């Protein structure tokens, strides 16, 4: 008789499948399915902090430097990030929720021809060539109209991000793809499966939010199909009720199997995770797993912060026991740890583990 699943099974399963053995950058992105991008650097960008645990000898900035040579794309999925080209192509041709007037499409066509003639363009080249002027952005300030146009063209699949220079997106014509007729339901299910595979195991409420996010951001042309997509996901995905919550995970996996029960999940390696790492991204699951609330406080006024501007969750021996804020000052890494229990663990192995993680961070940051 199979023993019932417990929360410990689910925790181990989540850690084991997400923190897989470090591999190449390309393979890691394919295994993750999607890597969220964020511009804040504290002490490195979230995408780099996520990949450093999963890529052999990874250094901050490697993703941006190697991007042009990888079969990946920048695009909206659940939010904005990078994902394999084979997944990104499932979302296009994409119809944006806001339709452009004829004059805007004429501008886009002219810019598209300009980009085709140049191959790769910087936004300032478009500014110089077309002088689109300024327009009001979502935040009420003035933005170059060409920047908004390029963003809109990229979202609609009329352009792709070829690379970045100093964080600025450079654009190129989209890659040519020969595609068969698209079945919306089959394609939407495939995209939902990518999201489930990244964040499994998922509480039922999170699965619902993910389906909504995918149908709204990745394929808004099919957003009216989200209820049916969620119903299909709940019917076909493996699932179980644990501690009063319904959990879902990818087809073909079993959170209770020996594959995910090894002691390597509880090793002495301490890991400081990015705020958007797959292990901590779902705040509901985080609280169920580790019994305390983690919040991203970079946009919280300083006097109201509880754990710091960019607190990195601290994973040790299968539990998130605290956090640390990291900063580079005068070429030196400074770590300010905090602990849920108010103090560091008394185990003799903890201090060396924290020092080892500091050393890994310093190598990652090339200090």
Pairing of strands 245-248, 271-272: unpaired
φ and ψ of 301, to 5 deg: -50, 135
Burial class (CB in 10 A: 0-12, 13-18, 19+), 52: buried
Cβ neighbours for 164, distance < 8 A, ≥ 6 positions apart? 64, 67, 170
Q: Which residues of 347-362 are buried (b: 16+ CB within 10 A; e: fewer)?
A: eeebeebbeebbebbe
Give me the sheet containing 239-242, strands edge to edge: 202-203, 245-248, 239-242
Task: Output the pLDDT for position 265.
Answer: 60
Task: Output the pLDDT for position 132.
Answer: 73
Task: Output the pLDDT for position 178.
Answer: 66
- CA atoms of 309 and 303, how far apart (whole Å): 11
Q: Is the pLDDT of residue 30 over 60?
A: yes
Q: Is the pLDDT of residue 129 over 50?
A: yes
Domain ranges of the chain: 7-27+60-90+182-248, 102-172, 258-364
Q: Which is more confident, 97 or 202?
A: 202
Q: What is the pLDDT of residues 300-316, one digit of tens each?
A: 999 999 999 999 999 99
Task: Output the pLDDT for position 264.
Answer: 60
Task: Output the pLDDT for position 144.
Answer: 77
> pTM higher than 0.85, yes or no?
yes
The CA distances from residue 339 to 104, 273, 287, 308, in Å, are: 53, 15, 15, 12
DSSP, collapsed to helix, strand or coil, labels residue 364 as helix
φ and ψ of 25, to 5 deg: -60, -45
- Cα 296 → chain centroid: 14
Task: Output the pLDDT for position 352.
Answer: 97
- CA atoms of 300 and 305, how far apart (whole Å): 6
Complete DSSP assignment for 192-227 = HHHHHHHH-SEEHHHHHHHHHHIIIII-GGGGGGHH
DSSP, collapsed to helix, strand or coil, labels residue 164 as strand
φ and ψ of 366, to 5 deg: 60, 40
Q: Which two tokens stand for residue 351?
A: 């201090």
Task: Output the pLDDT for position 267.
Answer: 78
- Cα 145 → chain centroid: 28
- CA atoms of 364 and 22, how far apart (whole Å): 14
Please state which of the ranges 3-12, 124-133, 238-247, 304-313 shows the lowest mean pLDDT: 124-133
Q: Is the pLDDT of residue 141 over 90?
A: no
Q: Residue range 36-52: average pLDDT?
A: 97
- CA atoms of 104 and 96, how far apart (whole Å): 13
- CA atoms of 281 and 291, how far apart (whole Å): 15
Q: Is the pLDDT of residue 60 over 60?
A: yes
Q: Residue range 106-110: average pLDDT?
A: 94
Q: Is the pLDDT of residue 263 over 70?
A: no
Is residue 88 within 8 A of residue 135, CB to CB? The reply is no
DSSP, collapsed to helix, strand or coil, labels residue 297 as coil
Q: What is the pLDDT of residues 243-260, one digit of tens each?
A: 999 999 999 999 998 887
At residue 97 the predicted structure's pLDDT band, cuts being 50, 70 and 90, is confident
At residue 133 the predicted structure's pLDDT band, cuts being 50, 70 and 90, is confident
Mean confidence (pLDDT) of the chain: 93
Q: What is the pLDDT of residues 188-239, one digit of tens each?
A: 999 999 999 999 999 999 999 999 999 999 999 999 999 999 999 999 999 9
Q: What's the CATH code, domain 102-172?
A: 1.10.10
At residue 1 the predicted structure's pLDDT band, cuts being 50, 70 and 90, is very low
């Amino acid at each position: 008789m199979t023993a019932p699943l417990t929360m410990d099974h689910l925790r181990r399963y989540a850690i084991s499948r997400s923190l897989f053995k470090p591999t190449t950058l390309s393979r890691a992105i394919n295994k993750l399915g999607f890597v969220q991008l964020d511009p804040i650097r504290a002490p490195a960008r979230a995408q780099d902090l996520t990949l450093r645990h999963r890529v052999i000898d990874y250094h901050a900035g490697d993703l941006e430097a190697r991007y042009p040579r990888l079969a990946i794309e920048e695009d909206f999925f659940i939010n904005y990030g990078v994902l394999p080209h084979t997944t990104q192509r499932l979302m296009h041709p994409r119809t944006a929720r806001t339709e452009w007037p004829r004059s805007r499409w004429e501008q886009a066509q002219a810019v598209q021809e300009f980009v085709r003639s140049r191959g790769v363009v910087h936004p300032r080249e478009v500014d110089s060539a077309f002088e689109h002027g300024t327009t009001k952005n979502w935040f009420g300030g003035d933005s170059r109209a060409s920047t908004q146009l390029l963003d809109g063209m990229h979202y609609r699949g009329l352009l792709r991000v070829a690379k970045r220079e100093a964080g600025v997106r450079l654009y190129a014509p989209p890659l040519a793809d020969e595609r068969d007729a698209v079945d919306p339901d089959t394609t939407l299910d495939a995209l939902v499966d990518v999201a489930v595979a990244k964040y499994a195991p998922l509480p039922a409420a999170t699965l619902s939010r993910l389906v909504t996010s995918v149908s709204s951001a990745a394929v808004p042309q099919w957003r009216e199909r989200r209820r049916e997509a969620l119903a299909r996901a709940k019917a076909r995905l493996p699932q179980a009720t644990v501690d009063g919550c319904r959990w879902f995970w990818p087809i073909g996996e079993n959170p209770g199997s020996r594959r995910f029960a090894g002691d390597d999940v509880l090793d002495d390696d301490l890991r400081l995770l990015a705020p958007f790492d797959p292990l901590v991204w779902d705040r509901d699951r985080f609280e169920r797993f580790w019994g305390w609330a983690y919040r991203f406080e970079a946009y919280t006024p300083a006097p109201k912060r509880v754990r710091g501007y960019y607190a990195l969750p601290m994973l040790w021996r299968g539990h998130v026991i605290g956090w640390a804020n990291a900063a580079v000052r005068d070429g030196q890494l400074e770590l300010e740890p905090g602990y849920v229990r108010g103090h560091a663990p008394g185990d003799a192995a903890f201090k060396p583990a924290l020092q080892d993680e500091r050393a890994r961070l310093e190598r990652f940051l090339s200090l």
